[in-house]
Structure 1
Amino acid sequence: MKLKINLISLIILITFSNCQNDNHNSDLPHDSSFYIDYRSLKGLSDGIAVIELDPEAPNFGYISSKLELGIGVLPHHLYYNQNANKLFTTALGGSYLYQIKTEKDKNGQPKLVNATPIDTGENTVGENLFFTNDGRYFMTFMGGAGGPKDGSIGVFNADNNQLIKTIKAPVQTNPNQFIMYPHGISVNEEKGIMMVTSTIHPDLTTGMGNTCTLLDLNTYELKETYLVADSQTDMSSPVEVLLLRGKFPQYALATTMLGGDIWIAPYNATTKKYDAFSKIFDGSTQGLGWALEMYIDDNSKLYVSFADPGKVLVFDISNLPQLKLLKTLTADKGAHHMVFFKTKKGKEVVAVQNNLLDIPNLNSGTISVIEIQTGKTLGTVDLRTKYGILPESIEGTNGPSNYMHH
């Protein structure tokens, strides 16, 4: 009898675990509640909040929990670890990286408890994270140690959050292979490689980049720095990079913030690197600028946000290097991060966080909930007006709310 009960318990546990790892979280309670990083517009503390984003819910747009991190912390990107049992946020200020403790209330509703700062050493201005399966995670620091042409990658122990190594490769030392203003990061563990972008100096004026750099995942040695721009003088500011892996065609994709374009590079099995990048989508031909985030679903559809004028373009990537535009979704100015979920009535939607660093004309401060099939906006939350805050990023409360991000 005891064996039978234990077996039933195991089945329940496995089922629940599988649901937790489901990227759309459609079978879990409160799967339309999301975490958002936010900045205060009233000179108060920045922080993280839990918000309901199902337009069909009576409490649509309601913030049920908040965690203040401090004035000027500017939390920036939310991430789960590999097992989705730890939540982190990077930050442009404050301690640059925090682990977030959460709980569930008596109704199973997510609740923010506290934030633990993580020591990032000399590394400043925290941007993106990538967790690998071998107990490490990598973090880009756009500010590096604070120099005018700085930037670094931190390597951390995922068990204890200890900084293992800081990867630096100044452009002053080698103008052909370097790390400068790194923002985006992507890893292909099977091939043992990672790539980071060179975006822009944290003050947005001192300098800009136009390259992506490929590194060995284990030795941390630089393999190649690629131009991702029309010319050496075109400061395109590549912002995100995605190394396609698994069942997808083996290419690298990059978005350019100031170029407003999507670039592609094929993997070369002989050199074990990527060949040169070429432009696969020119945003200016479509009246688009500030290409930012890339998300891929399990049906080979690529979602790319364009902050100006606030659109999400959906592409078919099943025949790369051909990129087929399927549809254009309208969000608000500053269209940036996305989450994917089903409404209570089963509609497949994408929620788009519309704000980029509070840059004028790219800072609507809203979250648009758009039905993917029809392109109809089902609801909009105006965080600027309602709460006096701007959303900086967005993530699910039951684990990652996307299939592949970077």
Structure 2
Amino acid sequence: MCYIYNNNNYNLKIMKLQFNVALLFVILITLTNCHNDNHSPDLPHDSLFYIDYRSLQGLPDGLAVIELDPEAPNFGNISSKLELGVGVLPHHIYYNHTEQKMFTTALGGSYLYQIKTERDQKGQPQLINATPIDTGENTVGENLFFTNDGRYFMTFMGGAGGPKDGSIGVFNADNNKLIKTIKAPIQDNPNQFIMYPHGISINEEKGLMMVTSTIHPDLSTGMGNTCTLLDLNTYELKETYQVADSPTDMSSPVEVLLLRGKFPQYALATTMLGGDIWIAPYNTVTKKYDAFTKVFEGSTQGLGWALEMYIDDTNKLYVSFADPGKVLVFDLSNLPQLKLLKTFTADKGAHHMAFFKTKSGKEVVAVQNNLLNIPNLNSGTISIIDINTGKNLGTVNLRTRYGILPESIEGTNGPSNYMHH
């Protein structure tokens, strides 16, 4: 009896152990699937993308889900749309630091929205609704940057609406409440100021933030030619840098990228009207960046309107030039020298980018070709380019097909690039 009892007890323990192992396996598989739902490059529907768009027919602007794999039978099809309103002009799509929430900034409307998305029974992404976020007095929403300490920062090119205005909003990432508005008018200090901020980049390890001074929202009242460095925690201005050939050269720096992590510690900036790329080294003594110098002059290559900077997972830098519509690929391994590796042909207005693989495994970049519907820079297309051969594999013309212009592009399974700004 005693033997039988012990044997049963032993069997029960084995069964319990087997159950726990099986349960652990199920949990691991579930967690893996949850993770892959946002990050895996091998997911079905990884060639579906979110785009911000503006209507050309007087209808509401909004967001859409579009298929961008040229090998897909439904290439160019829009499967889901979310209207935000007439004149809202959604502008940039972002994920938060955990990639669990999605936002779009806007040039009109409420300037900032949190976007709710879901998956249908087939796993297809669906746009559900948009929640406006109170931005206070701040107008004309441009770029976002999420930090790992529960904040996010937003540039407002219009500021409170003055002719030389501009501001940075600091928000609580948990509840989207505006914590602080950072303002530093050029009228108060012509040597350290924030004006028409568009681009923003942050190096959390160094506690530094930098914003560009681009152009007044009406594109005519005023232009900038500087970048300003701020303390990430005190919000104090540390330095305003000239990013232009001279004080009178209104180059309009549009994007800035503070390289961080594994990359050499430099700041990169593109100039919209200058059409160039500038670079500044980090100084470990001053704990600031030294002066910016021009590292690539677009005009020597017949290029203008340098816009976005992206880094892919092979550590290559991609820079879009809206005129005449090119994407240049640079090697980052010998900074401060930028070695030009490839030049891709897109369409006029080449702007934002997204990276993915086609069904057959081709590595491609999708280039959104439109800049604010500016004449001759507003093709309204998305080009799909093989990054190994440079061949254009397909083009979606949203202007003719849907009567809309794409404003920006982002992945439906998380950020579609290694580093953007």
Instruction: Give your verdict on TM over 0.5.
Output: yes
Supply the distance in 2 between the matched residues of 1:250 and 1:222 (Cα, whole angstroms): 20
Matches within 5 A, 1:58-77: 58-77=73-92
Which of 1 and 2 has greater Rg? 2
Cross-structure match for 2:70: 55
Aligned with 1:226 (options 229, 234, 241): 241
The two structures have a TM-score, normalised by structure 1, of 0.98
8 Å Cα contact 2:330/2:338 also seen in 1: yes
Tell me the alpha carbon deviations over residues 149-200 of structure 1, each in whole angstroms, 9 at most, x when there is no partner.
Answer: 0000000000000000000000000000000000000000000001000000
1:176 to 186, 191, 208: 191
Displacement of 1:12: 1.9
Counterpart amino acid of 1:180?
Answer: M
Name the CA distance, whole Å, in 2 between partners of 1:75 and 1:347: 30
Match of 1:293? 308
Q: Distance in 2 between matches of 1:170 and 1:16?
A: 49
Deviation at 1:21, TM superposition (A): 5.8
| Residues 313, 417 of structure 2: 8 Å contact kept | no
Alignment partners' CA distance in 2, 1:333 and 1:6? 55
Structure 1: runs of 5+ lacking an equivalent? none
Query: How many angstroms does 1:18 deviate by?
Result: 4.7
Q: Which range is displaced more, 322-331 or 293-302?
A: 293-302
Unaligned runs of 5+ in 2: 1-17
Could you tell me how far 1:110 is from its partner in structure 2?
A: 0.3
> Closer, same or farther in 2 for the Cα pair 1:237/1:133, shift >3 Å?
same
Match of residue 293, structure 2, among 260, 273, 278: 278
Distance 1:5 1:171 in 2: 65
Identity %: 84
SS in 1 for 2:299: helix
8 Å CA contact 2:92–2:143 kept in 1: the answer is: yes
Higher RCO (C-alpha under 8 Å, 6+ residues apart): 1
SS at 2:23's partner residue?
helix
Q: Which amino acid aligns with 2:25?
A: I
1:3 aligned to 2:24? no
Q: Work out the CA distance in 2 between the residues paired with 1:181 and 1:111.
A: 34
Cross-structure match for 2:32: 15
Find 2:139's aligned residue among 93, 115, 124: 124
Structure 1 counterpart SS, 2:176: coil
Query: Contact between 2:212 and 2:253, CA under 8 Å: does it hold in 1?
Result: yes
Find the partner of 1:159 among 142, 155, 174.
174
Corresponding position: 1:312 with 2:327: yes
Task: Please identify which structure carries the higher helix content.
Answer: 2
Match of 2:8 in 1: none
RMSD value, Cα: 0.9
Pairing 1:2-401 to 2, within 5 Å after superposition:
2-20=19-37, 22=39, 25-401=40-416
Q: Distance in 1 between matches of 2:24 and 2:127?
A: 33
CA separation of 1:319 and 1:280: change in aligned 2, threshold 3 A: same
SS of the residue aligned with 1:68? strand
Q: Which amino acid aligns with 2:112?
A: L
Q: How many pairs are equivalent? A: 404
- Following superposition, the deviation at residue 298 of structure 1 comes to 3.1
Match of 1:379, as an amino acid? G
